[in-house]
């Protein structure tokens, strides 16, 4: 049985990845903005006793490479001849999409045009005559709404007919340039009926208004953070109690079968306690923040937030697309780093990569939320407002670092960028939430758990192995104490950040373990008892503030750093991604320590 190849090509944000998911049964994340796909993705499906390999190409407006996405798509299609090329088109902007379709027709005769987003067209009062368009183009035309799966059975049938030779398309030949745009206008006028006059939505007047845009963004993030803070406290406490019960039962069972007290202490009170602490603290806020963030993206708000920041980044000498990477970094810095692939200029891409860790990822939120709740805010509303302030500070830090890099080691002028704003769409609440929980929350949690277990053992060993009168942990933190206090913290906190390099989520547990002479957390405590541990070890509001600032600005976690190296293939820029946030965080903390 031969394997037939199907390629999906089209402009950004026309739903190619959604079509790919529906055809293959995969669960690739599809965001409601451009730049989500910058490499080819392949999988397979089976239809009528035939196996098909389907390739999802990056979105491109032209096959003449002006960006990395266009280069990847063009290179693939010139190097490979698919058995069927599916030209995915947004039927709400048919005239703009057809010039690319004409270019694709020059590469192969075996083509099918998929008119996607028919639901959006219907809302806008747009009707496209698919049969008439098929006659004009000389290829099969299928109308669909890929998000709901409508029309994809018809697409499968047309792919089958084209690849088996049952249908022989005869695509129209159109010269590139003005002729293509003229023909696109002619065809669109012939097949489109529009019943409504389109107006800018009221929501866009607010989200994109000169006066209202930044206030609206602040409100959105404030509500997002408030929901995360207010809804995560109770499940965190519930998990802490559950894990405390399990820990006690496990320690008792191990003692009953004669396992050494030292081994029980190392495995249960060292490894397992840290692991439980990380899960109890991380899971609830992640399970709330990540899905809410994904729903904002699905609805279409994130691209508009990125658009509003475009001007700011351009003024800093960076690329406006860096705003997209910054938004991605709020979820995970490693994702933000890979997202920099959408930036065409190498100089501006490096600025985006080096500064992305200045954006607090979700792994740093548990530290910030815990410290804010213990020292700066008693209500969830106040905590959300303080956290929003820290995020604003990180944004200013990103602007400042981008400006300095653009004026020094990465001199040059910013390249203008065209950013397409997708339509607002009703989020797929259940599908998006479940996909986010599975692919983001569980992935990040598993990574933290894998790191937390050996980290718990290492810290336990450091805290229980003595060199003279002091433990190894005490020696190390003592050696760093002078530097830590110069930064408004202490040696224990600084050591916790260093040992927390594998994952930001374990920084606070490491610090708490180091403060206790036993080398383990005394219990899975609530916020007040954790605060008392910190106060007993000399913490003040200034210590808490400096720790929060250093949480915002310090070296990236191991996952992000590895990603930086993979993206840049350069030790120099990997080190720069460490030094830039570390220098900024150290300078700010030192200044706070002097002033306060």
Q: What is the pLDDT of residue 68?
A: 61
Q: What is the pLDDT of residue 300?
A: 82
CA dihedral 348, 331, 39, 70 (to 10 degrees): -40
Percent of the chain with pLDDT over 90: 33
SS percent in the chain: helix, strand, coil, step 5 = 65, 10, 25
Residue 169's SS3 state is coil
139-186 pLDDT per residue, tens: 999 999 888 888 899 999 999 999 999 999 999 999 887 888 999 999
Element (H, E) at 308: helix 301-315
| Mean pLDDT of the region 465-476 | 85
| Residue 69 pLDDT > 80 | no
Q: What is the pLDDT of residue 166?
A: 92
The beta strands (E) that lie in 61-182 are given as 84-90, 111-116, 126-128, 141-143
Q: Which residue in 454, 475, 480, 452 sits closest to 463, CA to CA?
A: 475
What CA–CA distances, in Å, run from 95 to 132, 136, 190, 311? 15, 14, 11, 29
Residue 55's SS3 state is strand
Q: What is the pLDDT of residue 426?
A: 80
CA dihedral 376, 379, 383, 385 (to 10 degrees): -110
9-61 pLDDT per residue, tens: 998 878 888 899 888 876 554 444 444 455 567 888 889 888 999 998 888 88
585 vs 208, which has greater pLDDT?
585
If you average pLDDT over every residue of the chain, what do you get? 84
Q: What is the pLDDT of residue 280?
A: 80
Q: Quote the CA–CA distance of 564 and 574 in Å, as a whole number.
A: 6
pLDDT band at 522 (very low <50, low <70, confident <90, very high): low
189-199 pLDDT per residue, tens: 999 987 765 55
Range ranked top by mean pLDDT from 24-28, 491-495, 559-563:
491-495
| Mean pLDDT of the region 203-211 | 86
371: left (phi over 0), alpha (psi -120 to 50) or beta: alpha
Residue 62's SS3 state is coil
Query: Exposed/middle/buried for 237, CB within 10 Å: 0-12, 13-18, 19+?
Result: middle
User: Around 531, how many Cα atoms within 13 Å sit in the side-chain half-sphere?
Assistant: 16
| Mean pLDDT of the region 300-320 | 81
Q: Quote the CA–CA distance of 324 and 318 in Å, as a whole number.
A: 12
Q: What is the pLDDT of residue 305?
A: 80
109 vs 342, which has greater pLDDT?
109
Q: Which residue in 472, 474, 475, 494 sits closest to 484, CA to CA?
A: 494
**Phi and psi of 418, rounded to 5°?**
-100, 120
Q: What is the pLDDT of residue 581?
A: 95
| Mean pLDDT of the region 66-89 | 80
433-462 pLDDT per residue, tens: 888 787 777 776 776 677 777 877 887 888
Q: Quote the CA–CA distance of 130 and 91 in Å, as a whole number.
A: 10
Percent of the chain with pLDDT over 70: 92
Q: What is the pLDDT of residue 26?
A: 61
| Mean pLDDT of the region 310-314 | 82
Across the chain, how many H-helices and E-strands are there? 26, 10
Which of 119-133, 420-434, 470-484 has the lowest average pLDDT? 420-434
Q: What is the pLDDT of residue 31?
A: 46
Please state at what angle helix 472-486 crosses helix 491-499, rounded to 10 degrees.
110
| Mean pLDDT of the region 406-426 | 76
pLDDT band at 524 (very low <50, low <70, confident <90, very high): very low
Alpha carbon of residue 288 to chain centroid = 15
- The strand pairing partners of 10, in sequence order, are 88
Please state at what angle helix 558-568 crosses helix 571-595, rounded to 10 degrees.
140
| Mean pLDDT of the region 412-417 | 68
253-280 pLDDT per residue, tens: 999 999 988 898 888 887 888 788 778 8
Q: What is the pLDDT of residue 418?
A: 65
Q: Quote the CA–CA distance of 366 and 508 in Å, as a whole number.
A: 9
Beta-carbon contacts of residue 567 (< 8 Å; ≥ 6 apart): 337, 338, 340, 341, 353
| Mean pLDDT of the region 572-581 | 95
Q: Strands 84-90 and 192-194: what pairing? A: unpaired
Residue 524's SS3 state is coil
Q: What is the pLDDT of residue 575?
A: 96
Which of 239-243, 248-252, 424-428 has the lowest average pLDDT? 424-428
94-150 pLDDT per residue, tens: 998 899 999 999 989 999 999 998 888 888 888 999 999 999 999 999 999 888 888
Q: Strands 111-116 and 141-143: what pairing? A: parallel
Q: Which residue in 367, 360, 372 sits closest to 281, CA to CA?
A: 367
Q: What angle do CA 322, 325, 326 make, to 5 degrees?
A: 90
Q: What is the pLDDT of residue 492?
A: 92
| Residue 568 pLDDT > 70 | yes
Q: What is the pLDDT of residue 546?
A: 97
User: Around 4, how many Cα atoms within 13 Å sit in the side-chain half-sphere?
Assistant: 22
Q: What is the pLDDT of residue 266?
A: 86
Q: What is the pLDDT of residue 518?
A: 63
Q: What is the pLDDT of residue 168?
A: 92
What CA–CA distances, in Å, run from 159 to 1, 7, 165, 294? 17, 11, 10, 32
Q: What is the pLDDT of residue 265?
A: 84
Q: Quote the CA–CA distance of 90 and 121 in Å, as a whole number.
A: 9
Q: What is the pLDDT of residue 84?
A: 94
| Mean pLDDT of the region 511-535 | 72
Q: What is the pLDDT of residue 148?
A: 83
């Amino acid at each position: 049985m031969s394997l037939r190849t199907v390629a999906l090509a089209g402009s950004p944000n026309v739903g190619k990845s959604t079509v790919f998911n529906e055809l293959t049964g995969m669960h690739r994340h599809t965001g409601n903005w451009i730049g989500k796909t910058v490499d080819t993705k392949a999988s397979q499906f089976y239809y009528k006793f035939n196996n098909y390999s389907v390739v999802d190409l990056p979105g491109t407006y032209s096959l003449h490479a002006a960006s990395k996405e266009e280069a990847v798509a063009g290179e693939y299609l010139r190097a490979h001849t698919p058995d069927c090329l599916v030209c995915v088109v947004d039927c709400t902007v048919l005239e703009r999409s057809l010039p690319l379709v004409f270019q694709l027709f020059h590469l192969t005769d075996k083509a099918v045009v998929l008119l996607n987003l028919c639901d959006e067209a219907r809302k806008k009062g747009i009707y496209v005559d698919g049969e008439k368009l098929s006659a004009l183009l000389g290829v099969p035309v299928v109308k669909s709404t890929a998000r709901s799966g409508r029309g994809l059975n018809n697409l499968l049938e047309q792919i089958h007919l084209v690849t088996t030779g049952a249908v022989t398309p005869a695509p129209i030949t159109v010269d590139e340039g003005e002729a293509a745009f003229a023909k696109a206008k002619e065809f669109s006028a012939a097949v489109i009926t529009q019943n409504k006059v389109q107006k800018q939505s009221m929501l866009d007047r607010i989200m994109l208004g000169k006066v209202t845009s930044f206030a609206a963004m602040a409100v959105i993030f404030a509500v997002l953070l408030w929901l995360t803070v207010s809804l995560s406290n109770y499940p965190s406490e519930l998990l802490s109690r559950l894990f405390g019960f399990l820990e006690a039962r496990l320690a008792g069972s191990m003692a009953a079968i004669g396992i050494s007290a030292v081994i029980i202490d190392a495995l249960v009170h060292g490894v397992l306690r840290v692991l439980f602490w990380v899960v109890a603290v991380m899971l609830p806020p992640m399970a709330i923040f990540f899905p809410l963030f994904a729903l904002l993206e699905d609805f279409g708000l994130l691209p508009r937030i990125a658009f509003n920041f475009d001007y700011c980044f351009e003024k800093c000498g960076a690329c406006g697309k860096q705003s997209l990477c910054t938004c991605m970094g709020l979820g995970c810095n490693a994702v933000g780093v890979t997202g920099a692939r959408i930036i065409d200029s190498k100089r501006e891409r490096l600025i985006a990569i080096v500064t992305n860790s200045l954006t607090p990822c979700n792994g740093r939120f548990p530290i910030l939320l815990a410290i804010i709740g213990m020292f700066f805010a008693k209500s969830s509303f106040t905590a959300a407002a303080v956290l929003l302030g820290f995020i604003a500070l990180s944004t200013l830090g990103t602007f400042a670092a981008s400006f300095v890099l653009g004026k020094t080691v990465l001199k040059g002028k910013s390249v203008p960028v065209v950013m397409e704003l997708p339509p607002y769409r009703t989020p797929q609440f259940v599908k998006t939430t479940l996909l986010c929980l599975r692919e983001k929350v569980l992935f990040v949690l598993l990574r933290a758990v894998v790191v937390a277990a050996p980290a718990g053992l290492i810290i336990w060993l450091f805290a229980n192995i003595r060199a003279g009168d002091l433990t190894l942990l005490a020696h190390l933190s003592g050696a760093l104490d002078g530097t830590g206090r110069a930064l408004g913290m202490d040696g224990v906190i600084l050591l916790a950040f260093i040992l927390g390099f594998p994952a930001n989520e374990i920084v606070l547990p490491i610090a708490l373990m180091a403060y206790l002479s036993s080398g383990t957390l005394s219990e899975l405590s609530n916020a007040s008892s954790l605060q008392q541990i910190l106060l007993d070890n000399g913490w003040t509001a200034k210590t808490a503030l400096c720790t929060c600032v250093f949480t915002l600005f310090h070296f990236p976690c191991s996952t992000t750093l590895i990603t930086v190296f993979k993206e840049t293939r350069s030790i120099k820029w990997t080190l720069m991604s460490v030094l830039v946030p570390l220098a900024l965080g150290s300078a700010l903390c030192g200044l706070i320590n002097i002033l306060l």
